[in-house]
Amino acid sequence: MSGFVNVCLEQHFSADGATSPEATALKAQLEQVEEQLQQKSQERERLRSRRERLEEELEDIEDGEPELLSQAREALENTPKDAENPAIQNWASKLGIPSKELVQELEQ
């Protein structure tokens, strides 16, 4: 009877492709690694999307600065070009640059 049970068990395991507890454990580990790879892949995609959004925002800011500088030139056209002038300081603050640098830009 024991031999018959062993033969049945061997046929059952060989039909499933699982030949031993070690193989079953390895398959479980493989499935776990595959799941981790999938999670990392999804995280990588989220990070790529975030990077693209940040790059677009930076590009928008960089593209917007010349327009803002143009507005500053127009608004400060008749203003004395002095770094201590409150109007110059205000526009420099909007542009995110030192007022001395804005004066140099306006004089060019």
Per-residue pLDDT of the chain (108 residues; tens, 9 = 90+): 667 666 666 666 665 555 577 777 788 888 899 999 999 999 999 999 999 999 988 887 777 667 788 888 889 989 999 999 999 999 999 888 999 999 998 888
pTM above 0.75, yes or no: no
3-state SS of the chain?
CHHHHHHHHHHHHHHHCCCCHHHHHHHHHHHHHHHHHHHHHHHHHHHHHHHHHHHHHHHHHHHHHHHHHHHHHHHCCCCCCCCCCHHHHHHHHHHCCCHHHHHHHHHC
Report pLDDT for 48.
Answer: 96
Judge whether 83 and 101 are in contact, CB under 8 Å. Answer: no
Token output for 2: 């024991």
Question: In the chain, what is the straight-line distance between the N-terminal and C-terminal CA atoms, in Å?
Answer: 101
